[in-house]
Amino acid sequence: MTPSTSPFSLVTVLSLIVFLLTPTGVSAATFTFVNRCDYTVWPGILANAGSPRLDSTGFELPKDTSRSFLAPTGWSGRFWARTGCTFDESGSGSCLTGDCGSGQMECNGAGAAPPATLAEFTLGTGGQDFYDVSLVDGYNLPMFVEGSGGSGVCASTGCSTDLNRQCPAELRVGNGDACKSACEAFGSPEYCCSGAYGSPDTCRPSVYSEMFKAACPRSYSYAYDDATSTFTCTGADYTITFCPSSPSLKSSRDTTTPATSGGGASQGAVPGSDSGLTYSDSGSGSQPGFAYSDSGAGAGSGLGSGTGTGSGTRTGSEGTYLADGSWLAGLAMGDSTKIVTPSTLHTALIASSAFCTIFLSLRKL
């Protein structure tokens, strides 16, 4: 190889590497909805402003069935399940809980009428995804969110408890079809975190939100419940299960370090602190359907008993994580037991091949 052609060849190789390793045009996540309820549900999908609509905004999901959707990088929005729906052959009708008011099976840009259990997502653009399950607008059925194939803490979250059975009479809807939030039931500023109560310093948990939190420790119970309720993951696909009677083994093994979103109200999973360790639930706790325990640096108080270790690392059945929740750092230290996904292996093979090509090109110079 002559010197005049070597630079061109090297540039060509480098361009090829960049092309192969840049994830342009690739869908960011797959959302899979699973119905484990003993009845049909009708999930609703609402994209936030600036996010494209997915393939459907509302659909029928019979029991023991699932349906998946692709979402692009940067997508944000919310999901919920409607119950007690009646639709005719043209798709016109309404629902007893979670109705979106469109008069159709498709919600067409309309959100859920409270009370409704919500799953909220903001997908990262080359960074972390943020997600939560919120009871701020009330509750209508159990819901569970699990991530798979991603890196980071990627904790499962949700509420597997049937709150309709323990809902106070003043919050109960119909014959126990749903459970209102205190804000929806009473409309007062101290319950709605509005007016003089519109900040984290002035809006505190109520006896009602504390009841929700005790039953579902990982879910948002009121507007400023960020510290224990927002979770992060990078590059994952997500499964949203309605009526999760038996969450997976991963759910019961999770050691959780919720991310805090900077004290903002729950209006979607909006990024705040991306350290993943701003808050640590010191000790252990349990919720019907899964158990969890946390240890790590941070401030805040959580449900359960025990004491935190105060350590800058996180250990558990998914491997060792550094203070930023990095699985790759744990892998480099030889501590991670997390399974390498096919996409990760594919990228690593491409990178290895590219570096070998560069090395051979340089040797010919």
- Among the listed ranges 133-142, 149-158, 165-174, 316-325, which one has the minimum average pLDDT value? 316-325
Using the predicted structure, report yes or no on whether residue 359 has a pLDDT greater than 60: no
Question: Given this model, what pLDDT does residue 9 score?
Answer: 52
Has residue 169 been placed in a domain? yes
At residue 78, φ and ψ (nearest 5 deg) are: -140, 155
What pTM did the predictor assign? 0.65
Question: Given this model, what pLDDT does residue 353 score?
Answer: 57
CATH number of the domain enclosing 187: 2.60.110.10
Question: Given this model, what pLDDT does residue 361 score?
Answer: 58
DSSP classification of residue 44: E
Has residue 355 been placed in a domain? no
Question: Given this model, what pLDDT does residue 357 score?
Answer: 57
Summarize the chain as % helix, strand, coil (round to 5). Answer: 20, 25, 55
Using the predicted structure, report yes or no on whether residue 267 has a pLDDT greater than 80: no
Question: Given this model, what pLDDT does residue 256 score?
Answer: 46
In DSSP notation, 136-178 reads TT-BSS-EEEEEES-BS----EEE-S-GGGS--TTTEETTTTE
- Total domains in the chain come to 1
Is 119 in contact with 159 (CB distance < 8 Å)? no
Question: Given this model, what pLDDT does residue 96 score?
Answer: 97
Has residue 22 been placed in a domain? no
Has residue 285 been placed in a domain? yes
- Identify which of 68-72, 281-285, 342-346, 361-365 has the greatest average pLDDT: 68-72
Has residue 111 been placed in a domain? yes
Has residue 348 been placed in a domain? no
What does the pLDDT look like over 106-121, one tens digit per residue?
A: 999 999 999 999 999 9
What does the pLDDT look like over 161-190, one tens digit per residue?
A: 999 999 999 999 999 999 999 999 999 999
Q: 20 or 47, which is more confident?
A: 47
Using the predicted structure, report yes or no on whether residue 307 has a pLDDT greater than 70: no
Which of 197, 160, 161 minimizes the C-alpha distance to 182?
197
Handedness of CA 285, 287, 291, 295 (dihedral sign): negative
Q: Is the peptide bond before 142 cis (omega within 30 degrees of 0)?
A: no
Q: 277 or 346, which is more confident?
A: 346
Residue 324 confidence class, pLDDT cut points 50, 70, 90: very low
Residue type, 303: L
Has residue 234 been placed in a domain? yes
Using the predicted structure, report yes or no on whether residue 310 has a pLDDT greater than 70: no
SS3 of 19, please?
helix
Domain that holds residue 315: 28-340
Question: Given this model, what pLDDT does residue 342 score?
Answer: 41
Separation between Cα atoms, residue 12 and residue 66, nearest integer Å: 45
Catalogue the long-range contacts made by 202-205 (C-beta closer than 8 Å, 24 or more residues apart).
Answer: none
DSSP classification of residue 58: B
Strand locations in the chain (E)? 29-35, 42-47, 66-71, 76-82, 86-87, 93-94, 118-122, 129-134, 143-148, 157-159, 172-173, 178-179, 231-233, 237-242, 283-287, 290-294
Has residue 363 been placed in a domain? no
Tell me the percentage of the chain whose pLDDT exceeds 90: 56
Rg from Cα positions in the chain: 23
